[in-house]
Each structure stands twice: as C-alpha cells, then as structure tokens.
Amino acid sequence: MMRCEQARELITALLDNELERSERGAIDAHLKVCGDCARAFEQEGVLKRRIQLAARQMSAPAELRRTVEEKAIAEMPAAGWAKRYLAAWSAWRWRNIFSEATLPAWRRGLVATILLVIASTVMYTQWRTEKENSIGLAALNTHVSIISGKTTLLRAVNLPAMRQELAHAVGDRFKPVVLDLSVSKLYPVAGFVQSIEGRDLLVTVYQGDGPAITCFTFIGSEADAPHDAERFFDAESGINYLSFMRGDLTGVLHREGEVICLLVSKMAPAELLAVLRGKSAHA
C-alpha cells in the first residue's frame, strides 16, 4: 500500500506523464482512497495549467529577462540547491524556464510569482516616475518646440494686456510670474496657456541676444520637479531652487508666492540660476 509521502513525491511526475505503468497504477489507487493526496493532485494540476497558459501568453524583452534572472539569483539564499539551480537559468533559452521537462509545476509557480512581482514593480515605478515628472518633462518638450519653430508664437504688442488675458484664461486663479531679464538682454515676446494632464500652465517666452528662456507658471509644489533635481537654498531670499537637466536643456523650479515658477533654457544650470535669483516679481 502506497504511503502519502510516496504519493506526494510522485504527483508532479504523474502530471508530467513520467511514471512507469506500475507506478501510475499504484498512485491512481492511492488517490482514490486518500482525499488529502487527491486534493494536492488537483491543486497542482490547476497550477500547472495556469502556468502553461501564462507561458504561452507571456512575451518579455531581453532587458526584463536579465533583470528577472539577476533579481531571482540575488534574492535567494546564499547556499543550497535553489541558488545553484537559478544560477543556471541565464544559460538557457527563455522558453525553457516554463517547459514541462525543465521544472516541476511548483517550481514553475515560483518562477511565475517572481516574474509577476518584478514586472509589477518595474511598471509601477515607471508609471510613478512618469507621473511625477510629467510637468517638468512636458515643459522641456514645449521649450524645444518653441525654439525649433514648431510652435507658432503670436507676438505680444501690449505685455500687460497679454498677462491679463493669460490670467483670465485660467479664471483669474493665478497670474503669470513676471521676470525682468533685461540685464541679460532677454525680453518677453509671447505667451499662451498650456494644459498638461488637466493642469493649466501659463507660458511666457523670453527672447533676445542670449539663449531663449521659457517661463511656466502653475499651481503646484516642489514635488513637480523631477525626482533627481538638485536642491539649492538661497539664504538671502529664503527660496529653495530645484535644478535639473535633460540633454542640453536646463530646468530651474521654485515657489513664487502661491504659484510655482519653472524656467527652461539651454543655459547652463549655474547661469540660469544666476539669471533667476533676484530677478522675479509676481505680478
């Protein structure tokens, strides 16, 4: 008479059709009289079918495959069969991870679980980063569109009237920050309203002899700066400035009264910060 311990060891082989006829007959007889082993057999069979379905539907890029392999190996215990087993994965083709001949069902379940956790973490982190940086990154794209000529500017003739129109366009909830950049020979030439994910931004373009500067005024917080922004505290004014770069573009963000002011330019960070400090006055 087969014992439960023996039956449990043969369940995976039974599902994988790897048993001899005599062994199959013995375990079939045991499963008919042992409810616990029968439930274990059914549960492992369900898991096996789900994993096979997931494997057929799954398509992972090479970078994610490497991340999964490295993460799985790094997080397993330093010794034992598990780490040695996982260390060999990187030499296999991706489809072999889920092949029936490679891993028993419960081990394929472990692999699937690791994949889901890592993939979910990667996607959530990417989503969170993109959401946090949406204002800053969109501002950079807007500046590029302006200086490249893709965005057509309607040049202002009456600057006070332009600023009043911008404020009126957002229900007078806030006004554009006014910058006196005449020392740098830069002057406001145009303005418009931009909406990013339902948030209104008042955009003012400064042009002249030096690199153009685009000023974005909006209701927000310092959290709208990219997560890698460098912080500089100006003790004289008591203002925190957050500076970041993407390629040859620089962004400097700070709070101005009740609003956030974000400047974008091709100036170096130190130069743009020097232009901004002491030059702004909320209109």
Q: Which residues of the chain fall short of a pLDDT of 50?
A: 58-60, 76-86, 89, 91-95, 124, 127-132, 280-283
Cβ count near 74 (within 10 Å): 9
pLDDT digits (tens, 9 = 90+) for 245-262: 999 999 999 998 889 999
Q: Where are the domains of the chain?
A: 1-57, 60-132, 138-282
Query: Which residue's structure tokens are 């069969």?
Result: 81
User: What is residue 235's predicted lDDT score, i.e. its pLDDT?
Assistant: 85
CATH of 138-282, one of 3.40.640.10, 3.40.50.720, 3.30.200.100, 3.40.50.2300: 3.30.200.100
Structure tokens at 186: 């830069």
* Claim: this prediction has a pTM higher than 0.75: no
Select from 104, 96, 37 the least CA-distant residue to 65: 96
Q: Say whether 103 sits in a helix, a strand or coil.
A: coil
What letter does residue 270 receive in the DSSP assignment?
H
The confidence score (pLDDT) of residue 256 equals: 86
Write the DSSP symbol of residue 76: S
Task: Return the bridge partners of 186, or none.
Answer: 208
